């Protein structure tokens, strides 16, 4: 699956 492109880390 297309990896969700967001940075969920601080």
Q: How far is the CB of 1 from another protein (least distance, A)?
A: 7
Smallest distance, Å, CB 4 to another protein?
8
Q: How many of the chain's residues bind another protein (CB under 8 A)?
A: 8
Which residues inside 1-10 make contact with another protein, applying CB under 8 A? Answer: 1, 3, 5-10
Give the Cα separation of 9 and 2 in Å (integer): 19
| C-alpha–C-alpha distance, residues 10 and 8, integer Å | 7
- Residues forming the site for another protein (CB under 8 A): 1, 3, 5-10
């Amino acid at each position: 699956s297309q990896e969700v492109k967001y940075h969920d880390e601080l």
